[in-house]
C-alpha cells in the first residue's frame, strides 16, 4: 500500500511499553514495545487492556470521553484515580489496591474519563496501570467545528494545474441535505506527505458533502484531464455482510461558460441495484435517474484503506460534453459518449473540479483523502488539412 495510515480509528491502536519492574524482579523485556492491531487485545502482566475515544472523530463541539476497559486475571482491577490535560497530552492515572485479598478469578473492568470539549489539534493519551507499572499511549485528532455549508474557498482561485490538493483553503464545501463535515490538509494518509481530507462526520440520513475547487474561466479550454489518487475509510460493498459505510463517491470536472454548464461526472455507486458499479451524469434525465449506468456495466468493488488512482478524460465537441473515457487503478474504460450541457442562466463563468461523499441511511462517518490532484486543460485540437492546388 502506498502512503501512510491515519492515526485515528474507532478502537485506537495501543502501544504498550513495560517501563518499570515486575513485583521487585528485573526482567530483560522491560523495555520491549508491544503493538496490538485495532480490535485485538494484548496481555501485559495480569491485564488485558483496550482504550476507546468517544466520539471516534471528535470536533471542538463534542464532549469527549475516554474509556479504558479490559480483563484482569484476578479481582484486583485497575480503577480511575485522576487525569490532567497539559499541552495536548491527556494523562490518566489509575491505581490497583493490592492491600486487599485478590480472588483468582478473571474479572472484566472498565472506567470512563469525562474529558469534555477540547481545542482543535492532535492529542496524545497516556495512561498507566499501577502496579505493575505499565505505560500506554495513543493519539487522536480533534477537528474544528464546521457550522455551515455552501462554504466558499478562502483563497481566490488561480490557474494552477498540479497538486491542487495542497491547500485546503482553496477548496469550498457544498452540502446536499444536512451533513456535518470536515475539510483539512493532513500528512497521513498521503503519498507526498500532504493530502486533502474531505470527511463526512454525521448529520441527517443520505446527506452528501461536496468538496470543490473553483478555477478562473478559460474560454478557449475544451480538452480536460483530471487525475487524482484517493483513499477512503474501510467499507463493505453493497451492504454485504454488514451495512456499507460508503454509499457512493463522485468525481467531477466542470466548465461554466456563457450560461451553460459542461459537466463530466462519474460516480462509484457502492450501494443499490447493480452496485458496486460506475455510472455517469446526465442532467437531462428525470431527477432520480440522472446517474446513468453504462450500457455495458462497469462493476467494481473498491477496497478501502488503500490508494486508488483515477483519470477522467473529456472534451467539448460541437457544444456537447464528450466523455472520452476513464482509467481506474490501471484499468482503462473507453466511453465515447456525448451529453448535452445544462443551461445555467446567471452563473459565473469558471472551471471547477470536485469530489463528493454520499451518506448512507445512518449517515455513518467516513473520510476520503485525495492526493496528487492534477487538472490538465488544453484548447480544442485543430486539424489542418493540406491545401491541394490543381
pLDDT tens for each residue of 293-304 = 999 999 999 999
Whether the Cβ atoms of residue 110 and residue 80 lie closer than 8 Å to each other: no
Cell of residue 201, nine digits: 462526520
CA separation (Å) from 3 to 101, 189, 230?
Answer: 51, 6, 11
CA contacts within 13 A on the Cβ side of 95: 8
User: How do the domains of the chain map onto residue ranges?
Assistant: 14-142, 168-379
For the beta carbon of residue 367, count every other beta carbon within 10 angstroms.
22
Spatial separation of the C-alpha atoms in residues 332 and 44, rounded to whole Å: 51
Whether the Cβ atoms of residue 222 and residue 257 lie closer than 8 Å to each other: no
From 231, 233, 183, 175, select the one nearest 206 (Cα to Cα): 175
Cell of residue 324, nine digits: 472520452
Torsion angles phi and psi, residue 237, rounded to 5: -110, 125
Q: What angle do CA 237, 201, 12 make, to 5 degrees?
A: 80
CATH number of 168-379: 2.60.120.200
User: Would you state the pLDDT for residue 24?
Assistant: 27
Q: What is residue 61's DSSP assignment?
A: T
Q: What is the pTM of this model?
A: 0.68
User: Would you state the pLDDT for residue 14?
Assistant: 34
Residue with the three cell numbers 485485538:
40
From 166, 226, 167, 235, select the one nearest 200 (Cα to Cα): 235
Cell of residue 48, nine digits: 488485558
Low-confidence residues of the chain: pLDDT under 50: 1-2, 4-45, 130-134
User: Would you state the pLDDT for residue 32?
Assistant: 23
Q: Taking every pair of C-alpha atoms in the chain, what is the biggest distance, in angstroms?
A: 113
Residues 6+ apart with CB under 8 A from 177: 203, 204, 205, 206, 207, 208, 359
Cell of residue 52, nine digits: 476507546
Query: H or E stretch including 164?
Result: none
Cell of residue 19, nine digits: 517501563
Query: H or E stretch including 134?
Result: strand 134-142
User: Would you state the pLDDT for residue 132?
Assistant: 42
Residues 6+ apart with CB under 8 A from 82: 93
DSSP three-state, residue 56: coil
Spatial separation of the C-alpha atoms in residues 327 and 298, rounded to whole Å: 12
Amino acid at each position: 500500500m502506498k502512503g501512510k495510515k491515519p492515526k485515528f480509528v474507532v478502537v485506537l491502536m495501543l502501544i504498550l511499553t513495560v517501563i518499570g519492574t515486575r513485583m521487585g524482579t528485573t526482567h530483560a523485556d522491560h523495555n520491549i514495545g508491544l503493538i496490538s492491531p485495532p480490535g485485538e487485545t494484548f496481555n501485559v502482566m495480569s491485564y488485558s487492556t483496550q482504550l476507546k475515544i468517544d466520539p471516534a472523530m471528535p470536533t471542538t463541539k463534542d464532549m469527549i470521553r475516554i474509556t479504558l476497559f479490559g480483563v484482569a486475571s484476578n479481582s484486583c482491577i485497575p480503577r480511575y484515580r485522576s487525569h490532567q490535560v497539559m499541552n495536548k497530552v491527556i494523562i490518566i492515572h489509575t491505581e490497583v489496591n493490592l492491600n486487599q485479598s485478590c480472588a483468582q478469578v478473571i474479572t472484566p473492568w472498565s472506567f470512563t474519563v469525562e474529558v469534555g470539549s477540547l481545542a482543535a489539534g492532535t492529542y496524545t493519551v497516556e495512561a498507566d496501570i499501577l502496579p505493575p507499572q505499565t505505560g500506554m499511549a495513543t493519539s487522536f485528532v480533534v477537528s474544528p467545528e464546521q457550522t455551515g455549508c455552501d462554504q466558499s474557498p478562502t483563497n481566490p482561485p488561480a490557474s494552477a494545474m498540479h497538486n491542487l490538493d495542497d491547500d485546503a483553503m482553496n477548496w469550498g464545501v457544498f452540502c446536499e441535505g444536512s451533513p456535518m463535515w470536515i475539510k483539512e490538509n493532513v500528512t497521513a494518509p498521503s503519498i507526498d506527505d500532504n493530502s486533502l481530507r474531505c470527511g463526512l462526520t454525521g448529520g441527517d440520513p443520505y446527506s452528501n458533502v461536496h468538496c470543490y475547487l473553483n478555477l478562473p474561466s478559460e474560454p478557449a479550454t475544451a480538452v480536460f484531464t483530471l487525475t487524482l489518487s484517493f483513499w477512503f475509510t474501510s467499507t463493505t460493498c453493497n451492504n454485504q455482510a454488514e451495512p456499507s459505510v460508503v454509499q457512493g463517491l463522485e468525481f467531477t470536472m466542470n466548465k461554466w461558460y456563457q450560461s451553460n454548464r459542461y459537466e463530466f461526472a462519474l460516480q462509484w455507486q457502492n450501494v443499490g441495484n447493480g452496485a458496486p458499479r460506475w455510472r455517469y451524469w446526465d442532467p437531462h434525465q428525470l431527477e432520480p435517474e440522472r446517474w446513468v449506468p453504462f450500457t455495458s456495466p462497469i462493476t467494481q468493488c473498491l477496497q478501502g484503506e488503500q490508494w486508488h488512482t483515477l483519470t477522467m478524460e473529456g472534451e467539448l465537441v460541437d457544444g456537447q460534453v464528450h466523455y472520452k473515457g476513464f482509467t481506474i487503478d490501471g484499468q482503462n474504460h473507453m466511453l465515447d459518449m456525448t451529453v448535452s450541457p445544462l443551461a445555467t442562466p446567471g452563473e459565473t463563468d469558471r472551471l471547477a473540479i470536485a469530489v463528493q461523499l454520499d451518506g448512507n441511511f445512518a449517515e455513518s462517518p467516513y473520510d476520503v483523502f485525495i492526493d496528487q490532484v492534477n487538472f490538465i486543460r488544453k484548447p480544442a485540437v485543430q486539424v489542418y488539412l493540406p491545401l491541394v492546388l490543381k
